Every structure is written in C-alpha cells, then in structure tokens.
Structure 1
Amino acid sequence: MKTQAIRWWVLACIGIMTFMDDLDASIVNVALPVINRALAINMGVAELIVSVYLITICVFLLPFGRLGDTFGKVRVFKWGMWLFVLGSLGCGLSPNIISLLLCRLIQGLGAAMTMSTNNGIITESFPINERGRALGWIGSFVALGMIAGPGIGGLLLSFLPWESIFWINVPIGLLLMGLGHTVLTTETGSDDRPVFDWLGSGLIGIGISGFFGYLYAGQQLGYGQPLLVGLLAVAIIATMVFILYEIKCQQPLLDLKIFRKTDFTVGVGTALLVFVANNFYMVLTPFYLENAKVIGASVAGLIMMILPVVQVLMAPIAGRIADNQGPFKLCLTGLLIILSAQIGFVLINQQTPLTLVGSLIGLLGLGNALFQSPNNALIMGAVEQTQLGVAGSVNALSRNIGMVLGNALATSLLFVIMSALTRSKVTNFDGHFKRAFITGQSWVYLLGSLLVLLAIGLVSFNTWKNKKMEALSDDAN
C-alpha cells in the first residue's frame, strides 16, 4: 500500500488519463462535419472514426485486463499511455482517412490498456476505508470525459483546425507519463508466466466486433438485412463458443468462476443497465433542447454540463459514505434517484420550463454519483487481488457496451415511433414533427425507467440475500 501523499498522485495520474480515454470517445463527434470536408469523405465513412475507437477498446479490454493480472497492471497502464499519445499524434498528422483510422485503432489500443487496469491499480493503491472515495473520483473522471467532449471539441474548433482535438492529448499525455514514471511502481507480475489465451481472445473479439458491427450498420441499412443478420449470427456463435471454451480452458482469458461472486455479477449487471438508460439521455437531450425547445447549442451544452458537474462534486462524497456505511444502501438510493429522473424525463414536453429540465438533469447526476461510486467499490472488492485486472476490464466493458446499446436502442425506438406517428420513414430529427419526437422520447425514457427498475430489483435481491447469509452465519456461531 502506498503512502497517503503518493496514492493521491496515483489517483490524479490515472484519473486524468481515464478522462482523456472517455473524452476521445465523444470529442470527435463535433468535428465530423469539418473532417468530412477536409478529407473529402461522406458521413458514413466519417462515422468509422468514432466506431473504430470504441470497437477497438471493447475488443481488447479483456485481453489487456488478463495481461495486467499476469505481467503487472502498472506495466500495461504505462504502455497504454505511450500508445494513446502516439495514436493521438498520428491522428493529428494524418493526411487521409486510411491513416486516420489506423491511428484511431492505435489510440483505441492504448485506451483499452489504461481502461482495463485503472480500477485495479486504484484498488491496490488505496486501503479499504478510502477505496470507495478513490473509485468515486474515477467515476467522476469517466462521467466528465463522456459528456465534456462536444463542449471542449467545439471550443477548440472555434479557434484551431480539426487536428487540434487530437494534438491536445500529446502534451497532457507526456506530462502524465512523467508523473506516472515517478509515482506508479511497476509490479513484478506473476512468476509462472501462464500461456496467453489467444483462442479465447480471438473468439470474444469476433463476438464483440460482430455485434457492434451489426448495431452500427443496422442504424444505416436496417437491422433486418440478410447480411447483417448473418453477421449477428456469427457474433452470437463466436460468443457461445468462447463461453464453452473458457469453461474448459486451463488458463482462460476470463475465468467464468468470477461470476459466481454475486456481488460482482450483480454490480456489473446493474452497471450495464444503468449505462444503457443513461445513454438514452446522452442521445436524446441535445435533440430535445436544440430542436424541440429551440435553444442555441451553447446554452444546450451548458444545461447538459449540469450532470457531470453534479456527479464530479458528489461522487467522492458518495464514495466516502460508502467507505463508512457500506455500499448496498447507497447503491439502492442512487438507483431510486435515477429512476425518479427517468420518470421525470418521460413527462417532459415542449412547454416544460428549462429550470425543471435542468433540475431533472441534476437529479440524474446525483443518482449516478450515489450509485456508481459504491457500485465500483463493490465490484472491485468482490474479487481476489489476482483478478483485479479482469474485474476492471469486465466493468469497463459493461460501460462501453451500455453506451453502444443505449445509442442503438434510443435512436431505433425513437425513429420507429416517429415513423409510425407521421406515417413516413423518419431517420433524423431536425425540428420537424416535434410532437412525434416528444412522444417517441417519452417511450424511450419509459424503457429506461424499466431498465433502472430491473437494476433496483437485482440490487434489492442481492442485499436481501447477503443479509440472510449473514443471519445464518451468526446463528451458526
């Protein structure tokens, strides 16, 4: 365990790197129209700049998590910082779309290495009575990175060329590497150097990339296209074979016994459900504010910043409470607040005052802060020290899958309902059919409410089960 001063510097290094990882998943969106013109590409190709980064992260989270447990999490994290900075520099210097996509892949590899090991390093660096607060700060950096991208990107593009959204990572990344060299002590890793599970890595890579490819292409071409249905079938088969293989593998990529720990499984499952529901807000709110309420993009951005500001302020406090009182009650309280916000979003319309909309956004930020900090502590505290890398990878994977699923579900359900109400094929919302949009938005948030309600049920059942086990243990003694 590191000294108190050093471990907070460790948190700063890992937290800022985590912020940059998540920022680069969203900052590119605002620059796509500019990149389209600069590189003479169409919007469909431009979307690959975003999807290549996210898919690369998701495909490699588990392998790098396993490598972290085997060869040392700090070593993998440091290599990840190097790759991320190198990829960022390459993106900023790319003369064409091919080199840009290749450098985004390198950037994604670096992000996967740091994302898969960040929670594990924090868990090892902090004593149990400070762990919730530290992981709460990591949750704050994640939330801030996810939502601050458009604002920071827009500010940079107001004064600098599109390459600046990548160049900004280079000096910050170099400073973090210097800090990391000072405060992050490289572990020796495992002594036995087990054989790496290449087959398992390939199978889960096919499963994840095939599933994401189906979702991304389905939004453009329709989910019922025979070729895409075939791609989904391949993804499902690869995932099933992966599970069967991992059960029998002597040195698996993902030891499925980890899911026997109910605290871990419930924590990851509820995180997935909450991130799906949260991404409904991320997708719909800009359309609602700018096209339904007809307010400027800058004002809309300021209103949306309420969520990360509240979460950044409250997450460490929530982590401290979880350290002192345990995570279960706080998780449940956070979920109930998230549910209240989702139900509030179901009821909003064009006439809803912006003060009320802002209050609901703040309520959602508060709920996420109270839920995510103790839930992350619960997930990481449920596993052995030798499984921290894999546990962190699974947790990060659930977050990224939740983002992609949330985006696909929100847009698909919204446009299906709008198309039915307007009796025309709707694939975008530019301010027309506002009543249809409000109705579709309500249905999407209703689905989000049901997902959060399911998460509440899972946490409540797990809490009851743990109390029952404690009572039986006390009776036995």
Structure 2
Amino acid sequence: METLSYQNNQKVQKNRWWILVAVGLFTFMSTLDGTIVNIALPVISNDLHIPMSQSEWVASLYLIVVCSFILFFGKLSDLHGKIKIFRFGAIFFIAGSLLSGIKVNLLFLLVARAIQAIGAAMTMATNNGIITEIFPTTERGKALGTIGSFVALGSIAGPGLGGLILSKLSWSYIFWLNVPVGIVAAIIGAIYLPKDITFTTSSLDKMGSFSFALGMIALFGGIFLGQQFGFTSLPVLAMLLVGVISFIWFVSIENHAENPLLQFKLFKNLDFSVSLLCALLVFITNFFFNVVTPFYLENARHLAPSQTGYILMILPIVQFFAAPVAGALSDKMNPKLLTFIGLVLLLVSQICYSLCNLNSSIWLFVGSIAIMGLGSGIFTSPNNSLVMSSVQQKDLGIAGSINSLSRNLGMVIGISSATTVLFAAMSHAKGARVTAYLPKQPEIFIYGMHVVFIISMLICLVTVILSGWRLFRKD
C-alpha cells in the first residue's frame, strides 16, 4: 500500500511537518484568494472604469473555475500522482497571481484569475490526499485538522487582510502577495515532497468531468449574468437551462459509470452528509458576510480601508485562537456537541448583524464579528474531524475532495446568492433596477443588507436544527 510505503520511508517521515507547511501554505492562499478580492472590488471597479456588477466577476469567476475542476483534478491525481498534480498547481497559481496584479483591463484580469483558479483547484484537490498518505494514522487527524484550519482562516481572513493591504498599497498587491509566499512554499515542496509511488489504473470519467464542469459554468455563470442583464434575458435563461440539464446528465452518468467522478454511495453515511451540508451552509453564510460587509463599513459608515481591515481581522484572529482549543476539546468530548455550540454562536452573530444600521454603534458590529469568529472556530475543526472520521480509510482521499468541493461550492453559492439578494432588495426599495451601491441613498443599501442578513440568519437556523437533530437523535 502507498500509505505503508511512505510510513516506512524514514526520510519522508522525518520531513512530514515540512510537507504539511508546503501543502498548508498553498491551501491557505488558494482559499484566501476566493475571499480577499471582495473588499477590493470597489477599488478595482473605479480603477478599471467598469460597473460594480462587472467587477464581481473577478471574485466569482475564480470560485466557479475552482468548483468546476476540483473533482476532475482529484481524479486525475489518482491516475498521474497527487504530488505531481500539486506541483503543477503551484506553478499555475503563482503565475496566475503574478498576472492578476498587472493592470491592463477586465478581460486580462479575468483570464489571469482563471489561470490562478486552475492552480488552486489542483492544490485543493490533492492536499488532503497527500497528507492522508504521508502521515501515520496516529497523527493523521491532527494533520488534517491543521489543513482544515488553513482553509477556515483563508476563507474568512480575506476581507481583513485585503483591507490592510489596500490601506497602504494598490489592489495589485492583493494578488502579488501570493508570489513570494508561493515561491517559498514551492521551494519547501521541491525539497521535501517525495515522488509519487502508486498510480491507479482506473479510467478517467471524462463525460462526468465534462458534464459537471459545464453545469457549474453554465448555472453560476447564468446567475451572475442575470444580475447584470436581468433574469428574463434570453441568453441568461439559456445558460440556466443548460446548467440544470448538465447536472441532470451528470447524475445519470455517475449512476452508471464504472469509476464515477463522484461516488454517491458516500452520502448514505448520515454523519458524513450532515457534516458536509452544515459546512456548505456555513460557507454560504460566510460569503453573505464577506460580500455585504465592505460596503457597509466603507460606503455606508465611511470608514477607511485600513479601519475596515482592522475590524474584519477580528474574525480570523478570534477563530485562530478558538480553533485549536475546539480541536483539543473534540478529542475529549462529543464533537457533535461542539459543532452545535459553534453553530448557535454563528446564529447569534447573524441576528446581531441584522440589527445594525446607519446610526447603530459600530461596537455592535465589532462584537458580532467576534461572536462569529468564536462560532466558526468552535465549529470548523470538530466538523472536519466528523467528515473524515465518518468514512473508511480507503475513502479518505475521496472524502477530502468532496469536503473541499462543499466549501468552495458554499463560497460560490454564497457570493452569487448574496449579490442577487442584495441587488434585488435594493431594487425593490428604490422601485427601479439597482446593480451598484447608491452613494446618495445609503438607506437603500441598509434595506438590502438587512434582507441579506435575515436570509443568512435563516440559513444558520437550519444548520442549528440539523446539528441539534444529529446530536440528540438516538442511533
């Protein structure tokens, strides 16, 4: 077995924590780049002279490409080697980051972001598999938990870190930050990552890969275009229809494929399915927050990007301290109880956000962010452990890929839903179509923000009910 061979290799075992550093850094950066751009969108919009609805593609395209290809690269890595795919992903991600910071026009930026996203999909698809193979069973949970912490921090640190960068530098450095860090991580990987030693002989599910990617691109592409041109537009309706048909086609293919891209049998495991669903919903909620908050703090409350950055950094800082404690507690107490407590705190934070307006104390918002960070920290590590411990060892790699997909899917659903709901609510309040922040009518944005946070509050309530049912049900 491949895992046994790596565990018997003293050189690999000696360097396993360096390997974790290399994999973890790319995991953090790949996830971070799905969130860090949001706070820079108003600046990018002004700098490139494009409407806000078009600048949203800088964030959404990245997530759509990652979601479209993450399962494909996971399967490809089984055929050609996880470490080889990871190395190629590192190169693509660094190159895409470098190109993304060069100011040309929107099309150039979107192409660069697509290159960056392909690299991110490669590293995300292989990170859990590499760690699972390298680390012995006695340390695997700790190592996978660390990767999970990198993912969680990357998903929520973006707005805060982006705000701090924008307070001193141009938006280009949001992307260029990845280049030196990526090079260091790639060098560590070049030195310490071993060669792939086992390759599967199963065929690649090409039709499944194509239908899934087509469905993702058409469905979410149609949603984002619908925000710009309206959902009654014929091209938008055609894209949405193609997306739905593609996913139906994908399910049909997977149910009959000998080596399917996505193994539906794993979802028969209740703990696995509920944990994934909760993670998906939490990431949707996080992106509701990430999309709306920069407009609230910078535009509605007139805070400088640096002040916004400092406020938003509270969330990852609180989570950074809460996550290890929750991880340690999950070894001593029921992790299902911890996830339930974390989700209740997340629900409280969403209720508090919905109470904020133009005149409320900024400390109400700051306190809500701290509660959200605490809830996320308590939820994430135990939930990752529940996902990975609920499947057999032979399915750890597959479970890791599906876990990564659920997080990224949560991100793309979150950003598409948040912007759709925000603009629809603002249009309702104004009585005319709105696709951008209205500087002279901040009360219209506040109305839209309240609708967004009420919906995110309901999403959190669903996760609390699911988690509570799982906690208290009798097996």
TM-score normalised to structure 2 length? 0.88
Contact 2:318-2:373 within 8 A present in 1 as well:
yes
Contact 1:10-1:184 within 8 A present in 2 as well:
yes
Answer yes or no: is 1:188 the counterpart of 2:197: yes
Contact 1:131-1:377 within 8 A present in 2 as well:
no
Per-residue Cα deviation, 1:340-382 (whole angstroms, up to 9, x for no partner): 1112222223333222221110110111111111111211222
Counterpart of 2:342 in structure 1: which amino acid? Answer: G
Deviation at 1:330, TM superposition (A): 1.0
Percent identity between matched residues is: 44
Counterparts of 1:227 and 1:85, CA distance in 2? 34
Per-residue Cα deviation, 1:299-345 (whole angstroms, up to 9, x for no partner): 12211111111112211221222233242111111111111111222
Deviation at 1:166, TM superposition (A): 3.7
Gaps of 5+ in 1: 469-477
When structure 1 is superposed on structure 2, of 26-35 and 136-145 the one drifting more is 26-35
Counterparts of 1:289 and 1:97, CA distance in 2? 26
Corresponding residue number in structure 2 for 1:209:
217
Equivalent residue in structure 2 for 1:285, among 293, 296, 299? 293
Equivalent residue in structure 2 for 1:367, among 375, 379, 388? 375
Corresponding residue number in structure 2 for 1:448:
456
Question: 1:397-416 to 2 correspondence within 5 Å?
Answer: 397-416=405-424
Contact 2:163-2:309 within 8 A present in 1 as well:
no
Contact 1:133-1:323 within 8 A present in 2 as well:
no
Deviation at 1:20, TM superposition (A): 1.3
Counterparts of 2:260 and 2:33, CA distance in 1? 31
Answer yes or no: is 1:246 the counterpart of 2:254: yes
Per-residue Cα deviation, 1:143-191 (whole angstroms, up to 9, x for no partner): 433344455556556666655444433332222122123333344234x
In structure 2, relative to structure 1, the CA distance for the partners of 1:441 and 1:38 (3 Å cut) is: closer
Q: Secondary structure at the match of 1:325?
A: coil
Equivalent residue in structure 1 for 2:238, among 230, 235, 238? 230
Equivalent residue in structure 2 for 1:13, among 22, 33, 42? 22
Gaps of 5+ in 2: 1-6
Counterparts of 1:365 and 1:55, CA distance in 2? 26
Answer yes or no: is 1:198 the counterpart of 2:209: no
In structure 2, relative to structure 1, the CA distance for the partners of 1:17 and 1:290 (3 Å cut) is: same
Counterpart of 2:234 in structure 1: which amino acid? Answer: P
Equivalent residue in structure 1 for 2:129, among 120, 127, 152? 120
Counterparts of 1:228 and 1:82, CA distance in 2? 34
Contact 1:69-1:388 within 8 A present in 2 as well:
no
Answer yes or no: is 1:73 the counterpart of 2:79: no
Deviation at 1:200, TM superposition (A): 0.5
Corresponding residue number in structure 2 for 1:426:
434
Counterpart of 1:329 in structure 2: which amino acid? Answer: L
Deviation at 1:36, TM superposition (A): 6.6
Contact 1:7-1:125 within 8 A present in 2 as well:
yes
When structure 1 is superposed on structure 2, of 222-231 and 381-390 the one drifting more is 381-390
When structure 1 is superposed on structure 2, of 421-430 and 404-413 the one drifting more is 421-430
In structure 2, relative to structure 1, the CA distance for the partners of 1:156 and 1:283 (3 Å cut) is: closer
Counterparts of 1:85 and 1:105, CA distance in 2? 12
Contact 1:91-1:104 within 8 A present in 2 as well:
yes
When structure 1 is superposed on structure 2, of 131-140 and 239-248 the one drifting more is 131-140
In structure 2, relative to structure 1, the CA distance for the partners of 1:159 and 1:297 (3 Å cut) is: closer
In structure 2, relative to structure 1, the CA distance for the partners of 1:200 and 1:398 (3 Å cut) is: same
Per-residue Cα deviation, 1:419-451 (whole angstroms, up to 9, x for no partner): 333333333334444444334323322211221
In structure 2, relative to structure 1, the CA distance for the partners of 1:84 and 1:436 (3 Å cut) is: closer
Corresponding residue number in structure 2 for 1:320:
328
Counterpart of 2:70 in structure 1: which amino acid? Answer: L
Corresponding residue number in structure 2 for 1:311:
319
Counterparts of 2:318 and 2:426, CA distance in 1? 32
In structure 2, relative to structure 1, the CA distance for the partners of 1:283 and 1:44 (3 Å cut) is: closer
Equivalent residue in structure 1 for 2:340, among 332, 337, 361? 332
Contact 1:89-1:166 within 8 A present in 2 as well:
yes
Question: 1:140-179 to 2 correspondence within 5 Å?
Answer: 140-150=149-159, 152-153=161-162, 163-179=172-188
Counterparts of 1:214 and 1:276, CA distance in 2? 18
Counterparts of 2:73 and 2:165, CA distance in 1? 32
Per-residue Cα deviation, 1:16-47 (whole angstroms, up to 9, x for no partner): 11121123234445566776787777766655
- How many residue pairs were aligned? 466
Contact 2:53-2:436 within 8 A present in 1 as well:
no
Deviation at 1:127, TM superposition (A): 5.3
Corresponding residue number in structure 2 for 1:474:
none
Counterparts of 2:22 and 2:467, CA distance in 1? 32
Counterparts of 1:411 and 1:35, CA distance in 2? 17
Contact 2:163-2:305 within 8 A present in 1 as well:
no
Deviation at 1:240, TM superposition (A): 0.8
TM-score normalised to structure 1 length? 0.87
Answer yes or no: is 1:463 the counterpart of 2:471: yes
Contact 1:73-1:389 within 8 A present in 2 as well:
no
Q: Secondary structure at the match of 1:25?
A: coil
Per-residue Cα deviation, 1:107-126 (whole angstroms, up to 9, x for no partner): 21111011112233334444
Contact 1:28-1:50 within 8 A present in 2 as well:
yes
Counterpart of 1:286 in structure 2: which amino acid? Answer: P
Counterparts of 1:45 and 1:432, CA distance in 2? 21
Counterparts of 1:273 and 1:151, CA distance in 2? 22
Corresponding residue number in structure 2 for 1:475:
none
